[in-house]
Amino acid sequence: MSSSLSDRDQQVIWHPYTQHKNMLPPIPITKGEGTLLFDENNNSYIDAISSWWVNVHGHAHPYIAQKIYEQAKKLEHVIFTGFTHEPAVSLAERLLKILPGNFSRIFYSDNGSTAVEVAIKMAIQFWSQQADAGDQKSANDNHHVKYRHRILAFRNSYHGDTFGAMSVSERGVFTLPFHDHLFEVIFIDTPTKANFGHIKSVIDLYANEIACFIYEPLLQAAGGMLMHEAEMLDELLTEIKSKNIICIADEVMTGFYRTGKFFASEYLQNKADIICLSKGLTGGTMALGVTAASQKIFDAFLSDDRTKTFFHGHSFTANPIACASALASLDLIEKEDCVLRINNMVKKNKEFIAGFAIHHSPSNIKNHRQLGTIIAFEIISGNDSYLNNISATITKQAMQNGIYIRPLGNTVYIMPPYCITDEQLNKLYDFLMAIG
């Protein structure tokens, strides 16, 4: 008898974020449709976390699939230096119209971490080229020109798993073995009325040395679905912008309506100079990253001196099939019923979280919160840590109920695709309500 897919997997696969010793056998998924994932025995599970926050319109969406098929038959890929193609240009044009802020150029890569790497490299090189231009004499005198080189980031942040992205992320369990190899970053807390003065003094201290500030607007997702006030972030951005620091909004997760608006930056008056997108960009079907830059950033790289080129690119830069799937996803988002469904989910989430407070206080639940399409709370059990074992227990209970969720330690959350039906959403609420 041939062995099962799960057995074969366990012979050859190394899974992400998975401790393989004593791991539960992975569940083969054979099919996806709408919010549902189907296993080999045709059990279905509501994908309540949008498959790690990427899915937007549901699984195996026929319209996106069709567009991918059409593009694959026409042009599957081409080198993106010296050449261009319709899906890349059309997607850039459409993104520039909807992005929150004055962006004028789209740089493509293939995931969230690389979108962040690109942003950081743009910001650092921007200042290095300013130093060359403005300070030619001292550039000749000193081999090492002092230019803005420091980076500012939030505590509890998560910007990806490559080295630059890890460097600007919280030093924690994900990054522990690499601390000696990560570059130095100035970390500040997310702003509140109470800590604002202190944060300001830190920024003042280094103001002229800080090249850029990278932030996840309103929601630190991997950090534990931590939410902060738009108003306070806006005050902080005003402060930071007054120091001429380049602002990088990492909207890899918050983009495409997760927070109830197209982009979380729409809750803010202050807009970024660089913005990073991925995850929901293709509706969750293909790997694609975008780093959008303002004219000011782009202009700093224009030069007769070829060393000022942005020497960065990936083999699959602007992959046409990925761009086509992003265009298809945008088509679906721009249909009226999509935003209506999002608004409906946001409204229902608000009602649920209000009722949840009454049902669960006092209890073993704390910090229940909601932002747009996302609901989160902590279970009071052991410590507040990603390694809390309660996560596996909750996932198992959920699966038995036909729901897939994957708590971040003791932080339980849902973030469903927007095609979720009221009935499915109520099923998620009932499950959450029964916890505790």
Ligand X SMILES: *Cc1c(COP(=O)(O)O)cnc(C)c1O
Contacts for 16 with CB less than 8 Å, ≥ 6 apart: none
Q: Is 250 a catalytic residue?
A: yes
Confirm or reject binding of residue 221 to ligand X (CB under 6 A).
yes
For ligand X, give the closer residue by CB, 36 or 251: 251
| Catalytic residue, candidates 17, 21, 97, 137 | 17
Asked whether the beta carbons of 149 and 101 are under 8 A apart, the reply is no
Residue nearest to ligand X as judged by C-beta position: 112
Size of the residue set binding ligand X (CB under 6 A)? 14
Tokens of residue 274, six digits: 């660089």
Contact residue for ligand X among 253, 330, 371, 428 (CB under 6 A): 253
Piece of 66-74, 174-182, 246-254, 345-353 that binds ligand X (CB under 6 A): 246-254
Contact residue for ligand X among 71, 167, 278, 349 (CB under 6 A): 278
**Residue 84: other Cβ atoms inside 10 A:** 12
Contact residue for ligand X among 170, 235, 250, 273 (CB under 6 A): 250
Confirm or reject binding of residue 288 to ligand X (CB under 6 A).
no
Confirm or reject binding of residue 222 to ligand X (CB under 6 A).
yes
CA 397 to chain centre: 27
Confirm or reject binding of residue 323 to ligand X (CB under 6 A).
no
Q: Is 17 a catalytic residue?
A: yes
For ligand X, give the closer residue by CB, 57 or 159: 159
Confirm or reject binding of residue 160 to ligand X (CB under 6 A).
yes
Confirm or reject binding of residue 252 to ligand X (CB under 6 A).
yes
| Catalytic residue, candidates 108, 147, 158, 413 | 158
Q: Which residues in the 102-131 window bind ligand X by CB under 6 A?
A: 111-113, 116
For ligand X, give the closer residue by CB, 113 or 391: 113
| Catalytic residue, candidates 110, 250, 271, 404 | 250
What is the C-alpha separation between 251 and 262, in angstroms, rounded?
A: 10
User: At closest approach, how far in Å is the CB of 278 from ligand X?
Assistant: 5
For ligand X, give the closer residue by CB, 250 or 378: 250
For ligand X, give the closer residue by CB, 38 or 183: 183
Piece of 129-137, 154-162, 231-239, 366-374 that binds ligand X (CB under 6 A): 154-162
Q: Which residues are catalytic?
A: 17, 158, 250, 279
What residues line the site for ligand X (CB under 6 A)?
Answer: 111-113, 116, 158-160, 216, 221-222, 250, 252-253, 278
